[in-house]
Structure 1
Amino acid sequence: IYTPPSRHRRCYKRQVSKTCHEIVQGDKTGDPSLADELREWIREKYAKPGNVFVGVVHRLDRPVTGAVVFAKTSKGLARMNALFRDGGVRKTYWTIVRQRPTEPEGVLVD
């Protein structure tokens, strides 16, 4: 059974740690997504029949690890989308490298 490593739970959101190479939302590859795994975990853990709502608030690229926020309700999803849209969320990106980069900024390529 999939047990999401959750960092923070509130009535409207769930924060999950994404590992490298996982996808947040389904794509053309058909690989299992973190959203689908979370949905199934909630269904089993809380014995919820039928559809379980898991709103994807934002995504992280496949080669990246980090915290992903999911909405537990459509109202929570709308509120969190507004926070991201209106600049109410501060995002910080860190990377670990073997050698000091020659440029202070760049693009991560897998």
Structure 2
Amino acid sequence: MELKILHEDPHLIVCIKPPKIPSQPDPTGDLDMVTILQQHLKENYPKAKNPYIGLVHRLDRPVGGLMVFAKTKEANTFLSKQLQDKTLVKKYLVVVTGNPQDDSGVLRDYLLKISKSNMSKVVDRETKGAKEGILEYKVLGKTVDEEYGNLTLMEISLKTGRHHQIRVQLSQRGWGIWGDNKYNDLFVKKKGWTQIALWSYKLQFTHPKSKKTVTFNHFPDGYPFSLFSLV
């Protein structure tokens, strides 16, 4: 695969994770982003025998978009602390099959991961193992599709990082993500593969060396994002 790097310096790499590529090694043994970046460093810096790539955050395998990886343990610690402190900003673009009435809002739910099915669901607060999921959404555009009806483009800001959080919380409101064959009833029984319309488009964080705030944006293309004007 062609590796698309937006920024690289001695401390970190900001790149695009293509859909269907795991963020890190998993039981499938398929090529993953950590391994791809380690190979990139070996090829470009031959003297580095065991180059370090630190995973700061993850994207679900079907999801594409911006990721930042650390090139030193110190940078990984610095960036990971921002993730824990919620000062590392991650924003997503998503197309849902539905028509939210409010232009913006905050969603709060308690989520439970079901390991057997690799899914999550909304449960009562008292449920054992449940964790609170919080996200903010903003409606950016609406259109009507002949096959799928109302489609809405939304910007999502995660306040917590739960398993399948965006997919679960939106589907709970009847705003299933276009192409999501796990949580959107319109696609669960649909034959053939569809690419989920969920994209990590913005990252903002404090650089571990310069201590300056840096921002990266990358917009998705292709249907159904192509139905909207992305600015």
- Give the shorter-chain TM-score range: 0.7 to 0.9
TM-score in terms of structure 2 length: 0.43
Aligned equivalents of 1:41, 1:11: Cα separation in 2: 14
Distance 1:34 1:48 in 2: 21
Mapped partners of 2:93, 2:4: distance in 1 = 20
* Corresponding pairs, count: 107
- Aligned sequence identity (%): 29
Larger radius of gyration: 2
- Residues 3, 41 of structure 1: 8 Å contact kept: no
Q: Is the 8 A contact 1:15 1:67 kept in 2?
A: yes
Query: Map of 1:1-110 to 2, 5 A cutoff?
Result: 3-97=2-96, 100-102=97-99, 106-107=170-171, 109-110=180-181
Report how far residue 3 of structure 1 moved: 5.0
Q: Is the contact between residue 16 and residue 67 of structure 2 (CA under 8 Å) also seen in structure 1?
A: yes
Is this contact kept in 2: 1:12–1:73, CA < 8 A? yes
1:16/1:67 contact within 8 Å kept = yes
**Which residue identity is paired with 1:87?**
K
Q: Runs of 5+ in structure 2 lacking a partner?
A: 102-168, 172-176, 182-231
> Which structure has the highest strand share of the two?
2
What is the distance in 2 between the residues matched to 1:65 and 1:49? 29
TM-score of the aligned structures, taking structure 1 as reference length: 0.85
* Whole-Å separation in 1 of the counterparts to 2:93 and 2:46: 37
- 3-state DSSP of counterpart to 1:91: strand
1 or 2 for the larger relative contact order (CA 8 Å, sep ≥6)? 1
Q: Which amino acid aligns with 1:44?
A: E
Gaps of 5+ in 1: none
